[in-house]
Amino acid sequence: MTTGRKDKNLTHVGPDGTARMVDVSDKPETLRTAVARGCIRMNSAAFAAIRSHQVAKGDVLSVARVAGIMAGKRTAELIPLCHPLSLEAIQVDFEEAPDLPGFRATALARTIGRTGVEMEAIVAVSVALVTVYDMAKSVDREMVIGDISLMQKTGGSKGSSTGG
């Protein structure tokens, strides 16, 4: 089934209107980075339990960090038409946010390639936060994940940008 739309600006749509992966083979390889951020809000009991390593499932932030890294590495399996990338680095960090209360997560993805790593950073931070929820839901089933955004990207023909 085709959309019938033949807009030259739609990079993931072929001339006949069908979905396609963008051909990046003519693009030069450059260092590309992306930083994404998000947060999880929770009640004060869950915040205290995570901080003091008193959640029954274990060290919540350590497990969530690994989950985020693993997810970032598998982004092309999760997002249709996303290029599989060889990542040079992926890092997930958490910051305590007593004002929420909760945690802010930041993910950094880096590669030398022909396409950016924005999706990898966004997927990494998202899965890290979902993992916090999964591990701490016995303490708080009303946690809220939000404010997920791309904060920065570098590399490629469009250069650097900041957002969020």
Residues with active-site annotation: 134
Give the orientation angle of helix 44-51 with respect to helix 118-136, to 10 degrees: 100
Give the residues across from 93 on adjacent strands: 106
List the structure tokens of 91. 């890092």
| Residue 64 CA neighbour count, 13 Å, CB half | 30
The enclosing H or E element of 104 equals: strand 102-113
Q: 23: exposed, middle or buried (C-beta count within 10 Å: 0-12, 13-18, 19+)?
A: exposed
Q: Is the link from the previous residue into 98 a cis peptide, with omega within 30 of 0?
A: no
